[in-house]
Structure formats: C-alpha cells, structure tokens
Amino acid sequence: MQALVYTDIETIIYKEEKNPKTVNGESIVKVSASGICGSDMHAYHGRDERRIPPLILGHEVSGIIDKGEKVGKKVVLNPLITCGSCDYCKNEREHLCGKRIILGMNKPIERQGGFAEYVSIPNKNIYELPKKLDIKEAPIAEPCAVALHAVELGEKELSKPIEDTKVLVIGAGAIGLLCGLIVEKIKKCKDIVILEPNDNRLKESLKYVNADGFKPGNKSIFNDHFDLIFDSVGLEITRQQAIQSIKPGGTIIHIGLTQPAGTFNFRKATLQEITFIGTYCYTNKDFEKTLSMLNNKEIGSLNWIDYRKLKEGPEAFQEIHNGKCSAPKVILLI
C-alpha cells in the first residue's frame, strides 16, 4: 500500500509500505479520508515521545471495511483504543484508561495510523457512517468529540448558564473553531471571542462562527473579563493569556499540547478561585453524540475543511508548519 511515513523531524515521505495483517477481533479498513491533527504536527516537530519515526501518523479516519466484520460498510473510526476492563473503562471514563493508545502511535504500543491506503483497528472502535455525513468530512468527528468533551467539562463548572457567559477561545485551528461552533450553535452563547495569530486562518474561521476575532495582544482583550476560556494551543504564552483574561471564579479548559511547561500565575489562580482543567480526548458517548451532531448538521457548514490528496501530504505538513495554511483543518483523501 501507499502511505505517508514520518521518518525524521520535519520529514514526511510518501512511499510503499506493507499492508496491515488481519488480526482476530479487528477489521482492515480501506481509508477514504484522514485528517491532519495538531498532535501529528507535534510529532512532525519531534515533540511527541509517543510518536517515534519511522511511523505512519494519522488518527482522524473514515473509510470502507475491506476485511473483517461488515465488509463493504462505510465507516468512521474512533481511534481511541482502551483496555475495556479497568475501573475507568468500566465507569464510562475510558478516555482515562492507563493503557489507552491512539492510531498513529508507537509508544507504549505500536499502532500504525491512517495516512495510508489501509489501517487495522478493533471492531469495537468502528462506527457505521451516518447517512447524512459525507465520508470525506467524517474524519472531523474525532476532533469534534475532543471539542465537545472540552465544552461540556467547562459548562459543568459554570455558576450560570453557558449562554449567559463570556467565552474566549485561544487558537482557531480545528479544535478551537469546533469549540467556538459548539458553544455558539449548540450551547447558544452569543458572547465569544477568538484569538489567532494567523490572519488568514482567523478570517476563514470567522466566516463560520458568530464571534469577534483578534490577534494576540489586541487591546480589546481585557483582563479579568471572561467566564470560560478554551486554550486549544497549549503554549506558555497562551496559558499566561488565559490566566490574565479569566474572571475571578472562572474556568480555563486547557486542551493544547504544544508546550509542556512554563511560568503561570498560580497566585491569581489561588486568590481568585480559578478552575483549571486539562483535557486530552473524549469518551465513547462523546464520540457517539458527535456523530449524531454532525449527521444533523448542528454545527453548520464544514466548508472550512481543506482537502488534499494523500500524496500531497508532505506539502500540506510543510504549509501548516510554515503558517501558510488558512484552513483550520486539512483532510487527506486516499
């Protein structure tokens, strides 16, 4: 099969690879579409100890079952593979499973990803494609589930209805935009601000979500102003922006993984009773709810997705790296 292989820092090669082998309890899916995630970019930059080259990246996947159960069915994959038997898995918190792994990782267990013509995955992680969801758009389900989980975590911490709050979203990539779309279109909040340094990406995102948009450092972003903040970037500087901008008693939802450490105003967090929640993925129920949401077009048009051919993947990674990609999400078509 043809695949995109991460071979070294900032190096992705389109090349021939061995097809996945049939495994009991799993199916082999002929990939139709696979999205480039921020975590794929972290690997590309050599900043993810769970993804070591050589490796086929990619975990936002849709396709058609080629071998295994329900051959010929159009499907979308939940790439979060868990043990199913620990306390977390038994209590519907499988996203916290100590043995969790995602497609496109090789630490602690190797799982080749979806930037390839074929991928193998456990049958329990396969969902039939909803009738009104285009197979090429379906990879957006995974980041949308991440965003939904993040929004509902934040909503639980609020002291008033989310529609009455001031919300700041830091970052207008797919996760940030999806948080904004869910907060506006599903949670009915009307006071949303998005911060994004890439002018083209900010302009593109604001076509789809009813929000004010600014570059970082804009004087319109007041201190102690927002009830709920989503940091979808995860840099030291974005965490500093979040703690500076949050109201007393407010909540910061930290989703980004870009920079693991740095200074933070813990004094303000303590004195003003700020809630800080880290979140990485989603539950199976979140994923199922997301598929229904997308099938019913509840977050509106997905025309903000940019599509490329799999063989054009190296150029797409380079464009994203150079900040020249205006689309919040790039999906590779196989």
277-325 pLDDT, tens per residue? 999 999 999 999 999 999 999 999 999 999 999 999 999 999 999 999 9
Under DSSP, is residue 307 helix (H, G, I), strand (E, B) or coil? strand
DSSP for 263-282 reads ---HHHHHHTT-EEEE----
Q: State which fold the 2-137+302-333 domain adopts.
A: Quinone Oxidoreductase; Chain A, domain 1 (3.90.180)
CA 99 to chain centroid: 20
Q: State which fold the 146-278 domain adopts.
A: Rossmann fold (3.40.50)
Domain with CATH 3.40.50.720 in the chain: 146-278
pLDDT tens for the chain, 334 residues: list them.
Answer: 999 999 999 999 999 999 999 999 999 999 999 999 999 999 999 999 999 999 999 999 999 999 999 999 999 999 999 999 999 999 999 999 999 999 999 998 999 999 999 999 999 999 999 999 999 999 999 999 999 999 999 999 999 999 999 999 999 999 999 999 999 999 999 999 999 999 999 999 999 999 999 999 999 899 999 999 999 999 999 999 999 999 999 999 999 999 999 999 999 999 999 999 999 999 999 999 999 999 999 999 999 999 999 999 999 999 999 999 999 999 999 9
CA–CA distance, 236 with 238 (Å, rounded to integer): 6
Residues in CB range of 221: below 8 A, 6 or more apart: 168, 193, 195, 214, 241, 245
Residue whose tokens read 């693991």: 260
> Which element (helix H / strand E) includes 293?
helix 284-295
How high is the mean pLDDT of the chain? Answer: 97
Residue whose tokens read 């994923």: 287
Core vs surface per residue 34-64: b (16+ CB within 10 A) or e: bbbbbbbbbbbeeebebbebebbbbbbbbbb
CA–CA distance, 148 with 290 (Å, rounded to integer): 7
Residues in CB range of 230: below 8 A, 6 or more apart: 150, 151, 154, 167, 168, 169, 170, 176, 179, 253, 255
Neighbouring C-beta atoms of residue 18, cutoff 10 Å: 9
What does the DSSP 8-state code read for residue 53?
S
Domain with CATH 3.90.180.10 in the chain: 2-137+302-333
CA–CA distance, 332 with 309 (Å, rounded to integer): 5
State residue 25's pLDDT score: 96
Q: Return left, alpha or beta for 72; rule: phi > 0 is left, psi -120 to 50 is alpha, else beta.
A: left
pLDDT > 90 fraction of the chain, expressed in percent and rounded: 99
Q: Of 117, 102, 134, 124, which Cα lies nearest the Cα of 66?
A: 117
